Amino acid sequence: MSAEQFLTLDPASADFVVDVSNVVRDDALLSARKADLERLTALCRALASHVGDHTLQIYAVVDDSLLTDSYLTRAERAQLHDWVEAGLMEPRTVADDRLIEIADLSGVSVVSDDGFVEFHRRYPWISGNRDRFVKPVPLPGGRVGIARRVMPVPEDWQITRKEEERLLLSAGMLDRRTGSGPRREFLERLWRCPERGCRLFEGGRRTGAGQALPRHDRGRAVCPTHRLPLIDRGPRPSQVEVKIHVNDEVQTRVVVVAGHDVVVGRDPVARKGQRAVLIGPWLTGAATHLVSRSHVRLACHDGVLEAHDTSTNGCRVRSADGTEREVRPGRTWQLRRGQRLLLHESVWVEISGRTFVLEGETPLPKAPARSEPSGPTMLGQILPKQDHRKGRRPTR
């Protein structure tokens, strides 16, 4: 029984969509080889046994990198190319987005052990799903079985981090081949394009916040627009991107750069060298009285975000497990990923999952009408119960 008899590129007749590279490179299956094409055949047999149908069909998507993987034998690479040429297998630079797209359109289950975290925002049905994802597992006697998966429910910053990884990968700035991760030697520098008037890399006009993502090409950083090698302007300053949530929505992103503090509040006043982020137009209900004009000052020191409370009523820090710590007026807190700095129950600051692809400050949209928020909540957020902290004094 060969894997070929199970292959189809007709989504309407497919029973599963399979991440071929993920399966073939799973060294927990069959052998200790880093890549073994026989695992795909074993998977097909296991799926057929799992559903009790030996005529089942799979839609196979393969990463381009597997087609030239040196851990496969020459015969195995030739077999993959034959299937691609025969229209039995779909090649992709990265298979993940195609796998989820097909599953979303056709309703078939996905065979992979990937968490697909970067797609949870675009496809909300993934989070916590219990019946649309399966993976191959080793069984005694060198056999392969099928196990259902319970998909994770990631936090917002974890989704953002995976989204950034995809951006880095598309620009060649994520080194998957050696496993060393982001190419920090390029990402932690400031760049200037030799082309005059380049809008992405304008020399001397940027502090580093929101600098465009360069492209990696044969060991050089190049401009994505002009394809010219970029000129190194020195180290990129320490910086952290934060998201400001108001009424369960991200209203703005701000990059806090070392030496340039950011003041956040209802109607903040910033000193020289600081930036002010106005959130007053978005505040509703009790928040309009409990959020101070200048509520918190954010600063970045060696990549660590410090929040100095400048309010009347103080802040709270809520961790992912729900525990809280109070930050009294005048105190400073080192905020970490996964924590929320609550100015009010409906207003909080959190660190973005992005480290390198920073967008800079996004302007606030036109302020909504003064009414209580309604509608769906953000994906992945666990919203706390309302607590307007009785006994608090109104802000000045």
Q: What is the DSSP string of 244-273?
A: EEETTEEEEEEEEETTB-EEEESS----TT
268, part of any domain: yes
DSSP-assigned letter for residue 315:
E
CB 48 within 8 A of CB 40: no
137 and 267 inside one domain: no
The verdict on 142 and 220 lying in the same domain is no
Rg (CA), the chain: 25
> What pLDDT does residue 200 have?
85
Q: Which of 202, 235, 268 lies at the terminal end of a domain, its last residue?
A: 235
**Residue 1: its pLDDT value, please?**
60
> How distant, in Å, are the alpha carbons of 2, 27, 29, 102, 196 from that of 200?
51, 43, 46, 35, 11
Residue 148: CB atoms within 10 Å: 13
Among 15, 220, 222, 375, which residue's Cα sits nearest to residue 212? 222
User: Looking at the structure, do residues 173 and 71 belong to the same domain, yes or no?
Assistant: no
Residues 14 and 123 in one domain: yes
pLDDT at res. 94: 86
CATH value at residue 321: 2.60.200.20
Same domain for 8 and 135: yes
- Are 9 and 143 in the same domain? yes
Same domain, 64 and 125: yes
Q: Rounded to an integer, what distance in angstroms lies between the CA atom of residue 352 and that of residue 355?
A: 8
Measured CA to CA, the distance from residue 347 to residue 8 in angstroms comes to: 50
Do residues 245 and 114 both lie within one domain?
Answer: no
- Bridge-based pairing state of the strands 174-175 and 304-309: unpaired
Total domains in the chain come to 3
Could you tell me where the DSSP H helices lie in the chain? 20-24, 38-51, 64-67, 74-85, 96-106, 156-170, 184-187, 287-290
- Are 161 and 33 within one domain? no
CB 190 within 8 A of CB 228: no
pLDDT at 210: 58
Strands 262-265 and 296-301, how do they pair? Answer: antiparallel
Which of residues 235, 254, 279 is at a domain's end? 235
Does residue 38 lie within any of the structural domains?
yes
Domain presence at residue 223: yes
Total-model pTM: 0.68
Final residue in a domain of this structure, among 202, 217, 235: 235
pLDDT score for 134: 97
Shared domain for 301 and 222, answered yes or no, is no
CA nearest neighbour of 108 among 136, 132, 135, 134: 132
- Report the pLDDT value the prediction gives residue 376, as an integer from 0 to 100: 36
Q: Which residues of the chain have pLDDT under 70?
A: 1, 176-179, 203-210, 359-396
The answer to whether position 379 is within a domain reads no
The pLDDT assigned to 387 comes to: 43
Q: What is the pLDDT of residue 270?
A: 87
**What is the C-alpha separation between 249 and 268, in angstroms, rounded?**
21
Tell me the C-alpha distance between 163 and 157, whole Å.
10
Q: What is residue 178's predicted lDDT score, i.e. its pLDDT?
A: 65
85 falls within a domain: yes
Indicate if 229 and 114 belong to the same structural domain. no
Identity (one letter) of the amino acid at 371?
A: S
| One-letter amino acid of 324 | E
Whether residue 371 lies inside any domain: the answer is no
Residue 367: per-residue pLDDT = 44
Q: In this structure, is residue 383 part of a structural domain?
A: no
Element containing residue 21 per DSSP (H, E): helix 20-24
29 and 62 assigned to the same domain: yes
Give the domain range for residue 253.
Answer: 239-351
- As a whole number of angstroms, the distance between CA 110 and CA 361 comes to 37
Is 372 among the domain residues? no
Measure Cα distances from 234 to 181, 191, 192, 217, 257 in Å: 22, 8, 10, 20, 15
